[in-house]
Amino acid sequence: MSNHHCNHHNCDHGSNDEEIGLQYNLFERIDTENLECLNESVEGSGKTYVESDADEELLFNIPFNGNVKLKGIKILSEDSDSHPSVLRLIVTFSSVTHLTMHFPSNFGAENTKIYYIGLRGEWSQAHRHGVTICTYEARPNLEDHKLKHLDSVSKSIE
């Protein structure tokens, strides 16, 4: 067993907190081409900065390019009444491939403003199976299933 002594001056413990944080950052795992924000004042702005249109409600549809185990959410906004006060998540927690975030209200402003949504968690490759096309017979026709190599067997069973 090794003994480790450290006075915290130029000491390396073997792990970098910043690298560990990046490991759980899910930004690169978001399918940004299909990211959608509803009720935004400028269409398409939900990918960078968003302000609600006619009222305080915002709805984000966030697709991932794999399975995600969500562990944390960070939301940044102005320090004003336009900050969201409620968040509703619509998600299937067994294997998250799509996350819907609903912000129904804020702290009293006419519009809701969001500058940043950070998602933390674990990602794994999605296993998508294609459609299997099968033909089922209600009543099998024995003539369709003849095995030629069995026709040449000459042994009888007693």
* pLDDT at residue 54, as a whole number: 83
Contact (CB, 8 A) for 56 and 69: no
pTM equals 0.62
Q: Which domains does the chain have, with CATH numbers?
A: 17-143 (2.60.120.470)
Rounded Cα gap, residues 41 and 82, in angstroms: 14
Query: 107: closest CA among 140, 134, 81?
Result: 81
Mean pLDDT by groups of 10 residues along the chain of 158 residues: 43 49 77 88 77 89 89 89 90 78 93 91 76 72 69 61
